[in-house]
Structure 1
Amino acid sequence: MGKTDLPIGIDIGGTGIKGAPVDLQKGAFADDRLRIPTPDVSTPKAVLEVVDQIVQHFDNIKSSSPIGITVPGVVKHGAVQTAANIDPSWIGFDAAAMFSKKLGRAVHLVNDADAAGVAEQHYGAARKTKGLVIVTTLGTGIGTALIYNGALIPNSEFGHLEIDGRGAETVAAASAHEREELSWQEWAERLQRYYSEMEKLFWPDLFVVGGGVSKQADKFLHLLDLRTDIVAAKLKNKAGIIGAAHLAAREH
């Protein structure tokens, strides 16, 4: 059986590095996902070895197929500018060039929230939505993706929006809900403040709420009173891989 030319998506997280080839027609994994724990000291070189291991695992994919890789940080022109949950040695490092040289393939590096947003726009909860879509991932912090008429506006960091003198993600992320043992109603009041501020600034056409807590969206989304439609993400923890693969294929 011949090799296929599907792109591979790889999602680098603080605890695990996950990857799979992606069928872009279906917006779905074309093979079982492989997950390997993130190295305890998650330097670029250490992470590269794990990424290479994942790529080599999918030996039915052509060596000419592009690879999309997410990182938990801002990415500008292939270089990582911030580092959340990975080693600070990533900051200022031209990671795209390193990955491309080691893997011998075209590589597209992207912020993890941006990748998830792209996936939701093309295959998930925001599919066929015109205008401005803001995808938010509620987790340890708040990740955001800004998409206008299908085009990604990269590196929006609206989890750092200051509300009442505090960073939004310090009071409204899912981690705050857990850490402070807030009721769903109490947490929803904080989310209301955050999303209302986002509405005032951007007038979006749709909010999509992702992150692990989105599995419990029925507990809190109905408590929000917004003029903008707000829905739960559909692709869950697959979104980063799918979005990264989509962007890699489009770029290359």
Structure 2
Amino acid sequence: MKLTATELGWSTRRHSILNSVSLEVEPGKVLGLVGPNGSGKSTLLRLLSGILKPTSGHVFLKNRPLAELSRREVAQRIAFVEQQADTSERITVRDAVELGRTPWLSLRHPWGDADDALVAQALKDVGMDHFADRQWATLSGGERQRTHIARALVQKPGLLLLDEPTNHLDVHHQLSILALVSKLTVTTVVAIHDLNQAMDCDSVGVLDQGNLVAIGPPEEVLSVERLRDTFGVGVTHLTDPHDGRRIMRFHS
């Protein structure tokens, strides 16, 4: 599903949070969003999801304005995993993941074996299949994050939005979740804290003080000059001798 944003902006109490952001993500591609804390990454994701209404500009899915879609249509097309999403309800891990199927259910299309299969596969994909009957309140932050990602997967969206999905995860699960996302045939926009992880995206957008200051291939966007100007750090580019992957070493 193609995603387009034109001159997207959002402000509150006369304070501008996001300024005239325009971007385009082709179907099945992954756009990574990076930037300092408070640069507008989460706000941009919430605008792309339809949770926030833009002060200016528009969002399009397959060239159709997001604003014209019903809430059900939006839920069938977009899955959003936020940094902090919690519940006080007494539910199990399986219950939480099953909620992702809600937009697709109706009197004509009740829950069936196919839905059970999707839930089981999603739990397995994020390594939570052995936790399916665990109560939500007993989960760690990382386990909750993986459950949220499983819920998004069973939603079968055309657009997947992830706000720092590896937050709270140990290194093993960080790598497994990012590998899973890279294999999906869904258009993805992901806010990433780790700049080396951003190198694996198809393209990267750099936000700074609410402005999209650069967007393009990671190796071009995450340049020495850009990292110094935006993040205030120096960087040395290295090559991993095992797989030839380009990695960055940061210094003051």
For the aligned pair, the TM-score class normalised by the smaller chain equals: under 0.3
**Bigger Cα Rg:** 2
Higher RCO by CA contacts (8 Å cutoff, separation 6 or greater): 2
Q: TM-score, normalised by structure 1?
A: 0.27
